[in-house]
């Protein structure tokens, strides 16, 4: 590959389009092109143009302050240009550039408004892609491909780190260094992303665990609620329909007794009417026995009193039964905390027995524990109506009424005996009346028995109705809308209500312990879990990307080390060869410097506590370890007859010769397609100029030279001369001479 032509338009002093054409190699030797001209004519703008089109971003190296300084700024006779454009065309028939074109043109264009673009064969391209392509062809804007004014000396006075970039080009590993640099940037970005994702995971994980526990509790609550609803449905359904059936039977029995009481009452009413009529007739006959009438009247009054006592007794008994039903319905089991307190109290009391030696005290303590445990058991068990203690006043009233009823019945019995004894002595005419009165008393006694039965059934009926009402309220409270289903349809499977009730209470307690949980927790958990899973997957992907990138860097390091070591040794040998050629003796060498030697990261202890670090921290350590260990190149040079090694002690000419020897060594080992030398021989005396020209002639077999010079010895070695002049309009103009077309007598060599 070689340079075919260089085209400039609007670049610095080249306002109009200017083209430098270069001769192709002939016989394995590349023609030398020399650019000459007076100072200030703009000939060095050619090296700036080449450096600029190759992607140089440093305005200092381009001898400018602003990016627009590379655009022709105008003069008195010519207006300023709107843009600057430089194109380099390479012959790529040997495919040195890995691109399927025999000619490759690289163009850079900058407009005065600040917009810029890079073109590759007329198509827009990225600078990084162009730089990689050029690096693969061993061309770079910072390498020895373009060596400008003062740059030869700069190689020596620059720091070891700055020289390393130069030697990366020199050893031909620049393309690998570019790839390595990009891989390291990718590795660092990936590590930063990994650290950020892991930080997010650290923040999210506690919340996710909390949400997971709540969701688990919510799921457990749902299962408990489902089981509770099923059990409650069977329990309440069984209880409800048992009460319905029981009420149906009691109501039927009450109806029969009520009919019987009504019938007996009608019969009694008829007898009373008949007795009253006969008593009226007896009165009219004036045969009435006042004593018997008085007894009969007292008997009736006593019966009314007894009936009143019975009615009151019935009401009090009914109220007592209702109170028992209500007490059973309103009973609530002890809270779990109270149960635990009760059990702990009994346990502590029993433990205290071990320390007691007094037998009486032991018995007293046992009695206390027995009483406490019995009380606890009684409070845990649901009371039956028979176990509910009624109001003492009501009980006392029942007893009192019973006694009053018994007294009334005894009085009635006495009155009956009185009436019987009187009836014996009465006249025959009253026999029928006495018989009616006897029948009436018998009927009244019969009604009394039936009424007692009906009242007992009425109490049962009231008790069952109260239980049904209480049960209905419980169903409405616990089951809500499901209560209607139970009332409307008989349950198919009945349950053991005695066994089901404690289980229902246990499940209710369990729900209380679980507590209420917002259903939105599930949505938040799903969102948080999805984000956590995504980020966790990202961590896995990022770690995989880190591993892949580290593998690429290791492969690049291996290739860089293999190639650079081999090339560096050759450059060192050639450096010594050209150094002795230019100085006529002496010694020199190139030395690689590590981080510790240039005092970079000297305080880092990369081996400390590695085993205790997390995976991400280990990645950070590996990134630091993969930074270039060789970070600088030191140059040692000792001219003949001297013992100094420090470059700062060399004279200006010695530094120039040392730099030329180094550049020549690099070109001899790893020649680029072309080299631009911008007045690198300016500091040389005449003898050294001829030596330099001889080296150029020898190296022309390896690379294409474009030399900007004032020296005659250098011009004599050139095959093409380009002369640069500048007119009054401040525009550089180009003249060319192909020395092969000039006669020997008129050549620049003579």
Give the start-to-end residue ranges of the domains of the chain: 1-145+672-750
Gap between the Cα atoms of 628 and 596, Å rounded:
12
Per-residue confidence (pLDDT) for residue 460, from 0 to 100: 82
Indicate whether 434 pLDDT > 70.
Answer: no
Q: How buried is residue 347: exposed, middle or buried, by Cβ count under 10 Å (0-12/13-18/19+)?
A: exposed
Shortest CA distance to 67 belongs to which of 105, 106, 109?
A: 109
Across 349-366, average pLDDT: 77
Output DSSP code: residue 626.
T
Cβ partners under 8 Å of residue 258, min gap 6: 454
**13, 731 Cβ separation under 8 angstroms:** yes
Of 224-228, 441-445, 506-510, least confident by mean pLDDT is 441-445
First vs last C-alpha separation in the chain: 32
The H or E element spanning position 283 is: helix 174-284
Beta strands in 257-305 (DSSP E): none
Q: In 3D, which of 415, 424, 466 has the Cα closest to residue 444? A: 415
Confidence of residue 558 (pLDDT cuts 50, 70, 90): confident
CA 85, CA 14: separation in Å to the nearest integer? 10
CA distances from 232 to 281, 488, 494, 658 (A): 71, 16, 11, 102
Q: What is the pLDDT of residues 737-746, one digit of tens each?
A: 776 665 444 4
Give SS3 for 631: strand
Half-sphere CA count of 297, side-chain side, radius 13 A? 7
pLDDT at 286 over 60: no
- Strands 2-9 and 83-91 turn out to be antiparallel
The pLDDT value given to residue 141: 53
DSSP category for residue 296: H
Among the listed residues 680, 693, 687, 677, the one whose alpha carbon sits nearest the alpha carbon of residue 652: 680
Min mean pLDDT across 68-72, 195-199, 246-250, 365-369 is at 365-369
**Measured between alpha carbons, how far is 3 from 475 in angstroms, rounded to an integer?**
99
Distance of CA 633 to the CA centre of its chain: 48
**pLDDT tens for each residue of 313-342:** 777 777 777 776 666 665 556 666 667 777
pLDDT tens-digit profile of 580-595?
888 888 888 888 876 6
Q: Residue 291: its pLDDT value, please?
A: 65
Q: Would you say 656 and 684 are in contact if contact means Cβ atoms under 8 Å apart?
A: yes
Residue 29 carries which DSSP code?
B
Between residues 517 and 427, the one the model is more confident about: 517
Give the pLDDT band of residue 609 (cuts 50, 70, 90): very low
Residues 661, 559: contact at Cβ < 8 Å?
no
Most confident of 85-94, 267-276, 373-382, 471-480: 85-94
87 or 436: which leads in pLDDT: 87
Are 513 and 336 spatial neighbours (Cβ–Cβ below 8 Å)?
A: yes
The pLDDT value recorded for residue 724 is 93
What pLDDT shows up at residue 310? 76
Beta bridge partners of 630: 594
Give the pLDDT score at 603.
40
Tokens read off for 168: 């990366």
Task: Choose from 49-53, 134-138, 348-352, 426-430 the range with maximum mean pLDDT.
Answer: 49-53
Predicted confidence at residue 124, as pLDDT, reads 93
Please provide the average confidence, as pLDDT, over all residues in the chain: 79
152-164: pLDDT as tens digits: 667 777 777 777 7
Task: List Cβ<8 Å contacts ≥24 apart for 618-625.
Answer: 619/191, 619/194, 619/543, 619/546, 620/191, 620/195, 622/550, 623/184, 623/187, 623/188, 623/191
Q: Is the pLDDT at 605 greater than 50, yes or no?
A: no
Contacts 24+ apart (CB under 8 A), 195-201: 195/616, 195/620, 197/535, 197/538, 197/539, 197/542, 198/539, 198/616, 200/535, 201/532, 201/535, 201/536, 201/539
Q: What is the per-residue burial (b if ≥16 Cβ within 10 Å, else e) of 681-707?
A: bebbeeebbbbbbebbeebbebbbbbb
Which pLDDT value is given to residue 9? 94
- Cα–Cα nearest to 585, from 637, 635, 639, 636: 639
User: pLDDT confidence of 21, banded at 50, 70, 90?
Assistant: very high
**pLDDT attached to residue 318:** 72
Q: What's the Rg (C-alpha) of the chain? A: 61
Contacts of 215 (CB under 8 A, 6+ apart): 521, 522, 525
Whole-number Å distance between alpha carbons of 632 and 155: 12
Mean pLDDT confidence for 147-173: 72
Per-residue pLDDT band at 379 (split at 50, 70, 90):
low
Q: 1-145+672-750 has which CATH code?
A: 3.40.50.300
Residues contacting 323, CB < 8 A, separation 6+: 388, 390, 391, 394
pLDDT at 600 exceeding the cut of 60: no
Least confident of 99-103, 185-189, 297-301, 710-714: 297-301
Would the pLDDT of 19 be above 90?
A: yes
| Range with the largest mean pLDDT of 3-12, 24-33, 137-146 | 3-12
Q: Which DSSP symbol is given to 171?
A: T
Check residue 748 and give its pLDDT: 45
Q: What is the pLDDT of residues 646-659, one digit of tens each?
A: 677 777 778 778 88
pLDDT at 414: 82
Enumerate the β-bridge partners of residue 125: 118
Report the length, in residues, of the chain: 750
Predicted confidence (pLDDT) at residue 615 exceeds the cutoff of 70: no
């Amino acid at each position: 590959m070689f340079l075919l032509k260089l085209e400039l338009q609007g670049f610095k002093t080249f306002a109009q389009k200017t083209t430098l054409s270069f001769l192709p190699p002939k016989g394995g030797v590349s023609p030398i092109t020399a650019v000459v001209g007076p100072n200030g004519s703009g000939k060095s703008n050619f090296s700036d143009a080449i450096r600029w089109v190759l992607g140089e971003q440093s305005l200092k190296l381009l001898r400018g302050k602003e990016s627009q300084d590379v655009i022709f700024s105008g003069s008195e006779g010519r207006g300023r240009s709107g843009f600057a454009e430089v194109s380099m065309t390479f012959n790529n028939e040997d495919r040195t550039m890995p691109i399927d074109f025999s000619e490759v043109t690289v163009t850079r264009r900058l407009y005065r408004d600040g917009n810029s673009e890079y073109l590759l064969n007329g198509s827009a391209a990225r600078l990084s892609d162009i730089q990689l392509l050029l690096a693969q062809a061993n061309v770079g804007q910072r390498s020895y491909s373009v060596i400008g004014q003062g740059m030869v000396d700069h190689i020596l006075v620059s720091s070891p780190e700055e020289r390393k970039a130069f030697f990366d080009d020199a050893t031909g590993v620049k393309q690998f260094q570019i790839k390595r640099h990009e891989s390291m940037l990718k590795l660092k970005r990936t590590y930063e992303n990994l650290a950020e994702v892991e930080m997010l995971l650290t923040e999210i994980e506690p919340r996710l665990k909390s949400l997971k526990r709540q969701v688990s509790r919510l799921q457990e609550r749902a299962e408990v609620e489902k089981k509770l609803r099923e059990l409650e449905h069977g329990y309440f359904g069984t209880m409800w329909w048992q009460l319905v059936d029981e009420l149906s039977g009691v109501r039927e029995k009450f109806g029969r007794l009520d009919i019987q009481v009504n019938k007996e009452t009608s019969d009694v009413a008829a007898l009373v009417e008949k007795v009253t009529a006969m008593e009226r007739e007896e009165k009219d006959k004036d045969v009435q026995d006042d004593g018997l009438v008085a007894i009969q009247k007292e008997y009736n009054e006593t019966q009314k009193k007894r009936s009143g006592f019975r009615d009151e007794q019935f009401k009090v008994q009914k109220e007592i039964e209702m109170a028992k039903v209500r007490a059973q319905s309103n009973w609530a089991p002890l809270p779990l905390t109270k149960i635990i307190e009760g059990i702990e109290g009994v346990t502590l009391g029993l433990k205290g027995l071990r320390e007691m030696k007094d037998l009486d005290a032991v018995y007293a303590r046992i009695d206390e524990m027995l009483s406490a445990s019995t009380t606890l058991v009684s409070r845990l068990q649901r009371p039956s109506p028979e176990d509910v203690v009624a109001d003492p006043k009501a009980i006392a009233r029942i007893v009192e009424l019973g006694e009053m009823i018994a007294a009334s019945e005894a009085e009635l019995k006495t009155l009956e005996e009185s009436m019987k004894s009187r009836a014996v002595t009465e006249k025959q005419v009253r026999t029928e009346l006495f018989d009616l009165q006897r029948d009436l008393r018998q009927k009244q006694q019969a009604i009394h028995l039936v009424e007692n039965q009906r009242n007992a059934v009425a109490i049962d009926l009231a008790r069952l109705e109260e239980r049904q009402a209480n049960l209905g309220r419980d169903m409405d409270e616990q089951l809500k809308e499901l209560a209607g289903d139970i009332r409307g349809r008989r349950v198919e499977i009945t349950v053991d209500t005695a066994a089901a009730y404690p289980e229902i209470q246990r499940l209710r307690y369990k729900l209380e312990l679980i507590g209420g949980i917002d259903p939105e927790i599930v949505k938040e958990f799903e969102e948080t879990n999805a984000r956590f899973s995504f980020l966790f997957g990202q961590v896995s992907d990022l770690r995989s990307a880190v591993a892949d990138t580290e593998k690429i860097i290791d492969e690049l390091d291996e290739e860089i080390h293999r190639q650079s070591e081999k090339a560096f040794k050759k450059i060192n040998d050639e450096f010594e060869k050209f150094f002795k050629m230019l100085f006529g003796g002496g010694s020199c060498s190139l030395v690689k410097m590590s981080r510790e030697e240039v005092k970079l990261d000297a305080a880092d202890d990369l081996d400390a506590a590695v085993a205790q670090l997390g995976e991400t921290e280990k990645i950070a350590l590996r990134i630091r370890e993969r930074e270039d260990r060789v970070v600088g190149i030191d140059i040692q040079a000792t001219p003949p007859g001297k013992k100094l090694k420090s470059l700062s002690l060399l004279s200006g000419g010695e530094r120039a010769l040392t730099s030329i020897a180094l550049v020549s060594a690099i070109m001899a080992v790893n020649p680029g397609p072309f080299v631009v030398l911008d007045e690198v021989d300016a500091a040389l005396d005449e003898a050294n100029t001829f030596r330099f020209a001889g080296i150029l002639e020898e190296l022309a077999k390896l690379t294409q030279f474009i030399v900007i010079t004032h020296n005659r010895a250098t011009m004599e070695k050139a095959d093409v001369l380009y002369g640069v002049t500048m007119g009054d309009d401040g525009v550089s103009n180009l003249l060319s001479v192909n020395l092969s077309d000039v006669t020997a007598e008129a050549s620049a060599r003579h």
